[in-house]
Structure 1
Amino acid sequence: SGDAKAAREAALAAADGAEASGADGTGAVAWLVALSSIAKGAVKPEDTELFERRARAAIARLGGPSDLLGDLEEILGGRRREDGKLEESLAHHKKELELRMEVYGEGSLAAADARAHIAGVLTFLDRVEEGAAEMELALQDAEAAIGSDHPRLAAFLNVHGLNLKNRGRYEESYAALARALEILERAVGKDSDRLSATITNLGNTCMHLQRLDEARALHGRAIAIKERTYGKEHPTVALALNNLANVEIQAKRFDEAIRLHERGLAIREKALAPDDRMIGMSLTNLGDALAGSKKLAEATERYRRSITIFEKLSGGKHSMLSYPLTGLGAALIELGKPEEAIEPLERALAIRDKDGLAKDLAAETRFALARALVASKKDRERGLRLADEARAEFVRGGEKKKVFLDELDAWRAVTK
């Protein structure tokens, strides 16, 4: 777009100008800003190598240990994570931690931030226990550095709560997130948008605890904050609506979930480009609600529209493509078209296995593909093998995957 081109040219001009004046520190910062803008989608990803090389050269000319080098590793770690290159992201964040400790000392707030970044990537790599251990160290360092009631501590508690949720330790997750919310409320009041992320995460944990009324109230509060802050038609409101819709799906109130998702989709279609990934996500979520309501033909139409969007974004390789593909396959099975369901489910499974998405998500696709292969009589042996693999993962998922485990066991009992 024109905005992206202008952002790239501005970043290059600022950095080149700073270097031409001999101001290496300013030049280094300018290159870091350029890299940050890539991570936010304002500059072409292929510029990453150029900007990284120029930033490293400018930082090297400063001599000695530099917090700017730590900033560079942090930005590159975020960039690689957005690109799905998680092992590379992890390496950058480990280097970030090393540099933060060199400049600020072990146990510093900067080191705690780096540990939190490492924890996040480990969780994405499905190395949840390692991520949780790293996050606990980050939380200890942060609390020692800034005290137990500092607003910054809430950010660490927020991430810690998410990691605990991912490990199925929902009561502990609730405690961490509730504490984070209390800290923030004392610091900024009860109506600030700074509360939204923590309120949302607490609401999601409540869903896992089956505290659906509390989850509904929390997500409703997040919607109200977003509407007051940005207006009722802002895209951030759409995300909050999506979270509330997820509660309604779990409560089997599918018509209400459909209404919420349709409103969120309308907001995004008005504010964003037709092929924006957020519209694709809204279509997938609406498809899920429609499928839950047994409006399967309508669900497949939404899934297909979402698939078209994600295929345009990455030539059929976008990790988010696996969601509508899995939804479409499952809906086709319910429509009595298991043979037609095989192709989208095979694609979804290939994406999830290759991208290293959470194993429980791949297990959901495995189970759907197993059903399609058995029902279509295409490959019963492979279907049963896939079902066994999925079951092992559902067992490993504990309470978080109990619904899927029960469904699989019921299916297996009647599958001769």
Structure 2
Amino acid sequence: AEALHRRALAGREAHLGTNHPDTLTSMNNLAVLLRQQGKLAEAEELQRKALAGLEAQLGASHPNTPIMLDVLAVILESQGKLEEAEGLHRRALEGGESQLGAQHPNTLNSANNLAVVFEKQGKLEEAEELYRRALTGSEDQLGAVHPQTLQSVWNLAKLLEVKGSVAEAWHGGPCKGHRGTVDSHR
């Protein structure tokens, strides 16, 4: 997959230019793959370039900007750079709310991503609030068994366990009605 992503990026750079939106999308896609492969420094460098190009070409208020912000933030989070990741996730969430609406799936994903960082920072109340928001919105917008909804269920349940609310987590809270699905992911 990496070779194909690199080929697509090289082709787009050659034919469209480095800052064409399609080229920037290819950079973003390669950065996502590199993060998944653990090539975090290269992923970060590439995603910073993609984000800077997108903001220069289309502006900070373009609907793709929050997505690219989230990707960079997740890369930074993977490297333990939680403070910078938090700032970028906040920008992504604010951008998603203003450009796409508070209930758009991308905005809800940004809320979930920021909650993950809050949890890692020990900001458990803030994390819980955002996990609940992401779960409620995802259930409403995507349905109870959509992968994004189930990720929100799992994240909130894990947080409630950490906070000592095991009964709420597994019996009366986010996992109610999802128990079989969540158990298969444990």
* TM-score normalised by the chain length of structure 1: 0.41
Name structure 2 gaps, 5 residues minimum: none
Is the CA contact 2:67–2:106 (under 8 Å) kept in the aligned structure 1? no
Within-5 A mapping of 1:37-56: none
Is the CA contact 1:181–1:198 (under 8 Å) kept in the aligned structure 2? yes
1:165 aligned to which of 15, 35, 52: 35
Q: 1:235 to 1:134 in 2, by over 3 A?
A: closer
Partner of 1:223: 93
2:66 aligned to which of 185, 193, 196: 196
1:184 is aligned with what amino acid?
A: L
Across the aligned residues of Structure 1 and Structure 2, the Cα RMSD in angstroms comes to 2.1
1:307 aligned to which of 175, 179, 182: 179
Distance 1:201 1:186 in 2: 18
SS of aligned partner of 1:305: coil
- 1:214-244 deviation line (CA, Å, top 9, x unaligned): 1111111111111112333444322210010
Distance 2:153 2:99 in 1: 25
**Percent of matched pairs sharing the same residue:** 26
Is the CA contact 1:280–1:305 (under 8 Å) kept in the aligned structure 2? no
Partner of 2:110: 240
Within-5 A mapping of 1:148-297: 148-269=18-139, 271-272=140-141, 275-277=144-146, 278-297=148-167
- 1:312-348 deviation line (CA, Å, top 9, x unaligned): xxxxxxxxx3xx21xxxxxxxxxxxxxxxxxxxxx55
Distance 1:300 1:232 in 2: 27
1:179 is aligned with what amino acid?
A: K
Report deviation, 1:276: 4.7
Is the CA contact 1:290–1:296 (under 8 Å) kept in the aligned structure 2? yes
Distance 2:26 2:100 in 1: 26
Distance 1:211 1:273 in 2: 31
Is the CA contact 1:255–1:293 (under 8 Å) kept in the aligned structure 2? no
1:162 is aligned with what amino acid?
A: V
SS of aligned partner of 1:241: helix
Q: 1:133 to 1:194 in 2, by over 3 A?
A: same
1:175 is aligned with what amino acid?
A: E
- 1:381-414 deviation line (CA, Å, top 9, x unaligned): xxxxxxxxxxxxxxxxxxxxxxxxxxxxxxxxxx
Q: 1:249 to 1:236 in 2, by over 3 A?
A: same
Q: 1:245 to 1:223 in 2, by over 3 A?
A: same
Dislocated runs of 4+, deviation >4 Å: none
2:178 is aligned with what amino acid?
A: S
Is the CA contact 2:18–2:24 (under 8 Å) kept in the aligned structure 1? no
Distance 2:125 2:36 in 1: 29
Distance 1:135 1:234 in 2: 28
Name structure 1 gaps, 5 residues minimum: 1-130, 309-320, 326-346, 349-364, 366-416
Report the count of equivalent residues: 183
Distance 1:274 1:157 in 2: 31
Q: Which has the larger share of helix?
A: 1
Partner of 1:14: none
